[in-house]
Amino acid sequence: MMEELKAFAETLQNRDAAKTEEATKTSYIIPFFELLGYNTKSPIEFVPEYDAEVGTRKGDKVDYCIIRDGEPIIIVEAKHHKENLDNHFKQLFHYYATTHPKFAVLTNGIEYRFFTDIDNKNVMDTKPFFIFNALKFSEQDVATLKKFRKNSFDVFSLGNVAEEMKYANQIKYAIKGIIEEPNDDFIRYILSDIHKGKKTQQLVDKLRPIVKEAIGKVVDELITARLADIQERMKAEEPVEPETPAEKEIISQVNTTKEELEAFFNVKYILRNIVP
């Protein structure tokens, strides 16, 4: 699937030729869901202009709805590739409430935001649990996207995945925020083990830059230790001897230093989950 997505990303290089929302849908959004295995030409599986009316709101329709066993499982609201998706959340939120799917996707053909109802059942969460960018994705992104393919789609397991991803992302952002700017609560938590006196706001403000610097040093030490471990592993690996005289001749003409090899193996290890 990785190669298919790379080929799909290539088609997006000409996206400026898609002048309208309809052109974005036809050229990029529909092919994306076909790549996931859905039959976009089936009126009982991939339904365009799906009815999302409720009460006095007449004529509301979500762009696409993927149906399984007669029930909506994914609704898709599609926008022009230049649209900022932040401006269309409320529209999708309304459609989710009226159509009752398990998942919802908001997309402009480049970015695909996946939503569900983790916080309150049948109420779409305000933040996506997964964002797939068709121009910039990792192997982990592809692994997650594969779970939405027609032949592997399972509502129960995907619900668990969505919940895990949501909390993992929130924890990651919280940790990143603390590293970049430690908040009062975090500083008071640190002080609880090292300061028995009153934790006044004046003391918290005084220690904030010290805590921030200490966190930076810990992160640096962890990175340094990881790189040292990588270097030790690389040194333990036996070099592969060239098998033919021609290979030996080529290698003999290359002057690669020890430092260059270590740098190469470090980068290779760091990018192992991104670059095959």
Q: Using one digit for the tens of pLDDT, what is the confidence trace for 141-161? A: 999 999 999 998 888 888 888
- Check pLDDT > 60 for residue 270: yes
pLDDT for res 88: 94
24, 81 in Cβ contact below 8 A? yes
180, 172 in Cβ contact below 8 A? no
pLDDT for res 238: 57
Phi, psi values for residue 94, rounded to 5°:
-65, -45
Number of Cβ within 10 Å of residue 47's Cβ equals 19
Phi, psi values for residue 55, rounded to 5°:
55, -125
> Can you name the residues that pair with 77 across neighbouring β-strands?
106
Ranges of beta strands (E only) in the chain are 46-51, 61-68, 71-78, 103-107, 111-115, 130-133
Per-residue tokens: 55: 């009460």
- Check pLDDT > 80 for residue 255: no
pLDDT classification of 37: cutoffs 50, 70, 90? very high
pLDDT for res 104: 96
Mean pLDDT for the stretch of residues 200-213: 91
pLDDT classification of 94: cutoffs 50, 70, 90? very high
Percent of the chain with pLDDT over 70: 90
Mean pLDDT for the stretch of residues 33-40: 95
* pTM, to two decimals: 0.70
Q: Round to the nearest angstrom and report the end-to-end CA distance of the chain.
A: 13
Burial, 35: exposed, middle or buried (Cβ in 10 Å; 0-12, 13-18, 19+)?
A: middle
